[in-house]
Amino acid sequence: MNTIGLVLSGGGARGIAHLGVLQGIEEIGIKPKVISGVSAGAVIGALYAAGYTPRQILGIAKNHSPTNIVTAVITAGGLFSPEILKGVLLEAIPQNSFESLKILLFVTATDIGNCSSITTSKGVLCDVLVGSAAIPALFDPVPYQHRLLVDGGVLNNFPVECLAGNCDKLIGSHVNKLLSSKSGPFSRLQVLERCFHLAIADKVLAQAKFCDILIEPQLPQYNMFEMKYAEEIFEIGYRCAMMQKESLLLLTK
């Protein structure tokens, strides 16, 4: 039987679709042997690797996330503190180590000082997770082993390469598919986000070719900074996975 690897992209609140994908592949009978995640995908991957179900993780996200992260930033009068996310993660995974997880996990972050992408699978967990999800200009960089970490998606928003040799087949869940849109006006944050994904689109496309199956929920109407549509986003991810049920079943043989 083939061993399965899973890569989870970044995407803010749209990352909730990863949970729907996980729910779908679980129902099909697939349990990944190894997970690679970045930003929101890293946080979700860690909680899943710690033994939480997709629905339990959805509950954690809804209970601890502000409805609108932008409002939280403005209210704080500055950058959003990564300590809030760290506290949630330490409560959920008190062992705070990669080694305590039930599934091998790789987390990708960006070292803003050395201008490089780093991938970690050993040692202290929560600081790396928070660093991987620290969106530049909204979150403070996170100190980690003489580095300053920011969102891993800046340099690698679909980290497939670290899974080479660790699994037989690879499933990718990517929640940032860009679609043409003439609707508007775009908010400043929407313009910033769209420009970011345009800048990295070619690299993501090249990395996606390494996936045996790519699950790519269509989520253009959802803001990456808002959690109020979490249930809808979960269901879209679930349906998208189940649409590929037959292909997913073939991976396990």
CA 36 to chain centre: 9
Please enumerate in sequence order all residues whose Cβ is within 8 A of that of 94, keeping only pairs 6 or more positions apart, or say none.
none
Locus of tokens 């960089």: 141
For 16, 25, 209, 220, the CA distances from 176, given in Å and listed in that order, are 12, 20, 16, 8
Name the catalytic one among 39, 65, 132, 173.
39
Count other Cβ atoms within 10 Å, centred on residue 178.
11
Please enumerate in sequence order all residues whose Cβ is within 8 A of that of 105, keeping only pairs 6 or more positions apart, or say none.
34, 35, 36, 37, 42, 45, 46, 49, 98, 121
DSSP code, position 68: B
127 noted as active-site residue: no
181 noted as active-site residue: no
CA 236 to chain centre: 16
Burial of 87-106, coded b for 16+ CB within 10 Å and e otherwise, reads: ebbeebbeeeebeebebbbb
Report helix, strand or coil for 24: helix
Name the catalytic one among 111, 127, 132, 151.
151
Give the catalytic positions in this structure.
39, 151
